[in-house]
Chains A and B, each alone.
Chain A
Amino acid sequence: MRHLLGIENMEPDEIVRVLDTAEAMLEISQREIKRVPTLRGRTVINVFLEPSTRTRVSFEIAAKRLSADAVNVSESGSSLSKAETLADMVQNLAAMNADVLIVRDRTAGVPQMLAERVRVPVINAGDGVHEHPTQALLDVFTVRQSLGSLEGRVVAIVGDIAHSRVARSDIYAFTKLGAEVRVAGPATMMPPGIELLGVKPCDSMAEALEGADVIVMLRIQQERLEGPLFPSMREYARTFGLTVEKLKLASPDAIVLHPGPVNRGVEIATEVADAEPSRILDQVTNGVAVRMAVLYLITGAVE
């Protein structure tokens, strides 16, 4: 693995390699001394140009548990406010002999653009509405942990499909591992041609949930929406929110994922978010292990 820019161009066996490696990484976080010496002396720079708590901290913890030195750069306080271009800033960071650059940006394609300009491995930590590969990897890891194989499993992804990089990366990851993916959401949030990605668009949430093994609820991202795409939060919650009642449509052993942060009472009812089928906190725990696996693999010698 040279860079991790998206799931779209990953081979299924590359995905499985990350998941298998993450299995071993998971145990390290359960130790009293949560650190192995593997990336001793390596420098990982987190460039987060969009607000994030979970993903940034997750990457930082992952780097530190492998003994790497982790440095964080955020938009405020960076030289971008002195009109330096992003490419220049990143080339300067790379010139300090960074070993890995982790990039989050609100514009799709930025990690790709940077990967073409520096010799350092780049990990996409979320770029606009394009991809969020480590989220998809931790999602498939969490499903594999709960249900075993993904082959033939039915996955329902519900919410704002059009503006969700998580949905896009999840669709690639789940379909590559042999799952059947259905998507549902308000018509204004369903991208035309979504079936070309090998998923089944559903007219209602009920149709998507029928017998599903995995339910991925997407966050309503108010900050990314430019105008009203649905009449009201209350109506959205009624039509596309996951309630205890709607959960009964899914398989009895179904699990519920959500990339966070959760809008309680909007896309997911509190009783569901905190109930047994919810794997929301497991996702967060697994996220550290999956990111450790990605850092481990991406810092390998180029063969």
Chain B
Amino acid sequence: MSIPDSRSRVPSLTSSATQGGSSGDGPARVVLEAAGIRRATTRIAHEILERNGSPESITLVAIALGGVPVGEMLAEALRELSGSEVPLGALDVTLYRDDVIGHGRRPIPHKTRMPFSVTGKRVVLVEDVVFTGRTVRAAMDAVIDFGRPEGIQVATLVDRGHRELPIRVDFVGKNIPTSRAEKVVLRQAPGGEYEVVVI
């Protein structure tokens, strides 16, 4: 499933999720390969349904950019399991980030697409990698600007620890111990399959 977009000339968010992943600085160690990612998203989909009951109450909100391919995989898995379509949005949190508001960093924001109401829904925020928790914090503020969800949960493919805020994830594909200096990225391998690497 892909996120509805009325303007086809906007490049797919998925295709740009690989940026920075293929940089040549240091050897990249694969910590989660395509099959592992598939198993993890299927398991998370089961857990989401188990926790929330009917799929009608759930909306997936992928955090741009890295969360978008994971959101698409989760939406697909949820459809296969439950037989119904779960809405999927893409949320850019740049304008809510504490390092943008406070310090004046000016990254170019990506487009947000939230073609549904979140009010009364159980919003599952979807990330590729949860690290300090600051992005999740920004995403919670952003979601609440769109309405009043019944609850917000967090699903991530990888939790690498080093939280700086009291944020926990509800559904995790794999816990990967890392050092702060390492980079963990979801990227597309040359064959087009996704993999998670530590650089």
Residues of A within 8 A of B (CB): 17, 20-21, 23-25, 27-28, 31-33, 35-38, 40, 66, 145, 148, 296-297, 299-301
Chain A residues lying within 8 Å of B145, measured Cβ to Cβ, are 31, 33, 35-36
**Interface pair B100/A38, CB less than 8 Å apart:** yes
- Asked if A296 meets B106 with Cβ closer than 8 Å, knowing A37-B101, A37-B141, the reply is yes
Question: Closest Cβ of chain B: how far from A179's Cβ, in Å?
Answer: 17
Chain A residues lying within 8 Å of B111, measured Cβ to Cβ, are 23-24, 27
Scan B1-19; emit 1 where CB is below 8 A from any A CB, else 0.
Answer: 0000001011000000000
Question: Closest Cβ of chain A: how far from B27's Cβ, in Å?
Answer: 31
The CA of A52 and the CA of B199, in the complex, are separated in Å by 54
Chain A residues lying within 8 Å of B10, measured Cβ to Cβ, are 23
**Interface pair B104/A24, CB less than 8 Å apart:** no
The CA of A37 and the CA of B137, in the complex, are separated in Å by 13
**Interface pair B109/A33, CB less than 8 Å apart:** no
The CA of A199 and the CA of B58, in the complex, are separated in Å by 55
- Asked if A37 meets B105 with Cβ closer than 8 Å, knowing A27-B111, A31-B146, the reply is no
**Interface pair A24/B141, CB less than 8 Å apart:** no
**Would you list which residues of chain B between 86 and 110 have a CB under 8 Å from chain A?**
92, 94-96, 100-101, 103-106, 108-110
Partner of A148, one of B9, B101, B110, B147: B9
Chain B residues lying within 8 Å of A37, measured Cβ to Cβ, are 95-96, 101, 141
Partner of A300, one of B7, B104, B112, B142: B104
The CA of A300 and the CA of B105, in the complex, are separated in Å by 6
Chain A residues lying within 8 Å of B96, measured Cβ to Cβ, are 36-38
**Interface pair A24/B108, CB less than 8 Å apart:** yes
Chain A CB within 8 A of B113 CB: yes
Sample 11 A-B pairs with CB under 8 A, ordered by A number.
A23-B10, A24-B108, A27-B113, A31-B145, A36-B145, A37-B101, A38-B96, A148-B9, A296-B95, A300-B106, A301-B103
**Interface pair A36/B108, CB less than 8 Å apart:** no
Partner of B108, one of A17, A35, A66: A17
Residues of B within 8 A of A (CB): 7, 9-10, 92, 94-96, 100-101, 103-106, 108-113, 141-142, 145-147
- Which B residue's beta carbon lies closest to that of A33? B145
The interface residues of chain A, by DSSP majority, are classed as loop
Chain A residues lying within 8 Å of B113, measured Cβ to Cβ, are 27
Number of A-B contacts (CB under 8 A): 54
Partner of B109, one of A24, A31, A145: A24
Known A27-B113, A36-B96, A40-B101; 18 more pairs at CB < 8 Å = A24-B95, A24-B109, A24-B111, A27-B111, A27-B112, A31-B146, A32-B147, A33-B145, A35-B145, A36-B145, A37-B95, A37-B141, A296-B95, A296-B106, A297-B106, A300-B104, A300-B106, A301-B104
Chain B residues lying within 8 Å of A300, measured Cβ to Cβ, are 104-106
Question: Closest Cβ of chain B: how far from A6's Cβ, in Å?
Answer: 21
**Interface pair B108/A38, CB less than 8 Å apart:** no
- Which B residue's beta carbon lies closest to that of A17? B108
The CA of A38 and the CA of B99, in the complex, are separated in Å by 10
- Which B residue's beta carbon lies closest to that of A149? B9
Chain B residues lying within 8 Å of A17, measured Cβ to Cβ, are 108
Task: Choose among A37, A66, A300 the residue with the greatest number of B CB atoms under 10 Å from its CB.
Answer: A37
The CA of A301 and the CA of B102, in the complex, are separated in Å by 10
Question: Closest Cβ of chain B: how far from A55's Cβ, in Å?
Answer: 23
**Interface pair B104/A299, CB less than 8 Å apart:** yes
The CA of A24 and the CA of B7, in the complex, are separated in Å by 13
Chain B residues lying within 8 Å of A66, measured Cβ to Cβ, are 95
- Which A residue's beta carbon lies closest to that of B8? A148
The CA of A279 and the CA of B170, in the complex, are separated in Å by 47
The CA of A21 and the CA of B92, in the complex, are separated in Å by 12
Chain A residues lying within 8 Å of B9, measured Cβ to Cβ, are 148
The CA of A103 and the CA of B198, in the complex, are separated in Å by 50
**Interface pair B109/A21, CB less than 8 Å apart:** yes
The CA of A117 and the CA of B111, in the complex, are separated in Å by 37
Question: Closest Cβ of chain A: how far from B174's Cβ, in Å?
Answer: 31
